[in-house]
Chain A
């Protein structure tokens, strides 16, 4: 491997100076002449027919722009995968908070009063509020059977395996709750419309071209009359992958009707109640294992609650299904999975995208299987972790040189696992503070599943301006994870110029090509790879032109670029995605190469369970992962630490309280994420086995850290307490309910 100058170095965040100065401008920091403000009137019931809409007293309604479904010039749906997600409810609502009509007015403060003054009458219809209710099909709320999507993924012969003699069978049911993204910046958009220019939409979003596509449908305008521009985005985590298409459409409709630019900014209560969350899940595992602890077969039933419309449930389900196998070798495995409709705001993309749900179940279950055959969690895993050359649960051969056992051992070592485990076992018996240590080993596929990347057909460009500034042309966006920095590092490294000499072109659909959505841990690996090849093309163009010869300085490069442009008009190099060789995926059989690359990880959590209050503190956390190549150590570390923090929240704090499909704890005071006083030291370690088809060897890391914390923590709690908890979020109330009859303190209470 060559010695790199920029890649692998902790260069500063590209937009970092602006951010630390408060000069970075997010959507609510923008204003335009003549701009007015928009707001959304939403359903108060989970399902029903809209009977009457009354504009209440005390509001100057004649000053308002009002938009209903009737005003939609194009089609009344937000295009994602299917066409079932209404932009505005038209006569019927299928979830609380469903948008019904839109209001706009110049006085921002008047809008909430106006929204509150609208009286809507409904004829309520029966509604469904859990996977079980939906599954029973007693009330059908979507399609013929409430099922958005189902898969069967099979390898080997599961039924035969279960029929073998002398095996141990372990069953378990695991569930995960909804999780709110809680990006600190709420959703927002500004739209402007004119007959001549069409629609321009500025937004806090991950995927400009997703919003672009949805707006084409809603407005009926041609492609070149819709322009989407991403502005600085204050956190996303998947919550701004799908939802922004909705708020964008709303802002656009108001702009078209009013003839003025319209800004819509959600406040926290609205954002939490009305927008997407992580899909709740239920997984039922039935596992056959030999008495020696070798996995023989799994029969898994995996279900998601998708909310009222299908949105991205089919793809979340897909990833969750495929990750059900975890990092293990399964001779036989069957996963039957379904995504169900319920009457709650549609659930959507959230970092991990189905894998945190299914991996929670699998990794919790593996500890229980280990116990059933009398093995420690680590020894059991040693006997079953995938090795190079073995096939995954989709029959994909692992071609990379992996060393899961070695990485697990290293993580255990960093955590002081063996010594602590023995010590806690000794010290726990008499203590009111029970300590535990737990492990999770897992994987995360980088890039789109199966043929997804081919389908995306990403296009990336590099160009130079007349001043000689080199630009990266991608629709991949920055929202904290480091897109700007990483892609500029890759470009600068490849071009052989200074990092400071490369900049990102604005994420503006009229300027940049479609490099695919900024999701699925694909930006560094896939888009970075395309930036690399586009940069090579740019360099080769200049050298071939005779204007540049190696070795050259940054200044020489810039001069050559200027000269080239002066001579030829433009300097640009494009690169189109090509799938790595031997990546074949069968969508019908659900088998083959599910992902071009996997990142691998072993996480260890140390907890204290305090029996006086049944609260759990995570005291230490080790996160070790193999990621191909770390392109920026500070950014990579930050991604893992942040993901682990979110995972800790997912496991122990972040409970959505529902009332018939409505989130009722929709404020930051009662939806609990960890503060600076709630987290352990998070100790991050990287292993690198460069991936040939990723930029400079990199694979994906954005979502990986979301998968491990919850099962590691619950495994640690099982060690500390001797009790299996199999549902998250696990709050002290749940622990108290189970343990109270067992703890010494309570024995006295019972005796009293």
Chain B
């Protein structure tokens, strides 16, 4: 069948691509745009390692056909911060041991960014719920919860490296 032209913003940059409309946003990010920070863990919207923000909302990019991302603004892990200029969430994950094998980490960080945007001072329950679509097999989540709390404090006090 056919490909079509789509445009959307990824990490602040306008992108123009010609693709089958059912290409998954995850595959477009990884293969067309070379943004391999977003990962595929399950392809069924359960593990959250493909999480990105689409128009500010946390979504599983393995479940978004590219046609439905047309005109959208996407934030991937590459847009959150850089190795020389970490976002407070990234810094907190580093300090608290929130990443072990690291494969869930990009999605987990996007979920944390999303959570803190909605709940700048989240309760324990809100943290547990905010991350409930991001599976981590390594940490048991404890270091991650601590990282979220630490990041929340850092953001509140206006810290930014």
Contacts and interface: CB of A to CB of B under 8 A. Distances in A.
Interface in A86-111: none
B41 A480 contact: no
A342 interface: no
A64 B76 CA distance: 35
Given A12-B94, A235-B137, A267-B43, A18 B103 contact: no
B140 A679 contact: yes
B99 A13 contact: yes
Interface stretch (A25-33, A113-121, A377-385, A600-608): A25-33
B61 interface: no
Query: Secondary structure of the B side of the interface?
Result: loop
B81 interface: yes
B99 A26 contact: no
Q: Which of A232, A480, A482 has the most CB of B within 10 A?
A: A480
Interface string B75-93: 0111011110010001101
Contacts of B91: 20
B103 A646 contact: no
Nearest to A669: B46
A186 B37 CA distance: 16
B102 A641 contact: no
B59 interface: no
A675 B140 contact: no
Range for the number of chain B residues in contact with chain A: 35 or more
Query: Secondary structure of the A side of the interface?
Result: loop
B140 A21 contact: no
Contact of A642 (B41, B46, B100, B103): B100
Given A13-B94, A682-B142, A22 B137 contact: no
Contacts of B38: 22
B44 A667 contact: yes
Contact of B39 (A26, A181, A634): A26
Interface in A229-266: 232-237
B141 A185 contact: no
A185 B101 contact: yes
Given A185-B101, A234-B102, A645-B140, A675 B43 contact: no
Contacts of B42: 268, 667-668
B74 interface: no
Interface in B136-154: 136-145
Contacts of A689: none
Contacts of B129: 676-677
Contacts of B98: 20
Nearest to B109: A20
A260 B141 CA distance: 41
Contacts of B137: 181-184, 235, 237, 642, 646, 673
Range for the number of chain A residues in contact with chain B: 35 or more
A9 interface: no
A16 to B, nearest CB: 5
A739 interface: no
Contacts of B106: 22
Nearest to A705: B140
Contacts of A10: 97
A541 to B, nearest CB: 34
B130 to A, nearest CB: 8
Nearest to A18: B83
Contacts of A168: none
B88 to A, nearest CB: 11
A461 B56 CA distance: 49
Q: Which of A23, A181, A667, A681 has the most CB of B within 10 A?
A: A23
Interface string A622-645: 000000000000110110011111
A15 interface: yes
Contacts of B80: 21-22
Contact of A22 (B105, B133, B141): B105
14 contacts: A16-B93, A21-B82, A22-B36, A28-B36, A184-B49, A185-B103, A234-B102, A268-B43, A479-B101, A642-B137, A642-B140, A643-B140, A676-B141, A682-B140
Given A13-B94, A28-B40, A184-B39, 9 more contacts: A21-B83, A22-B77, A184-B136, A185-B41, A234-B101, A267-B40, A479-B101, A641-B140, A676-B134
Interface of A: 10, 12-13, 15-26, 28-29, 181-186, 232-237, 267-268, 479-482, 634-635, 637-638, 641-646, 667-669, 673, 675-677, 679, 681-682
Interface of B: 30, 36-44, 46-47, 49, 76-78, 80-83, 86, 90-91, 93-106, 109, 127-129, 131-145
Cβ-closest 5 pairs across A and B: A22-B37, A234-B103, A480-B101, A19-B102, A645-B140
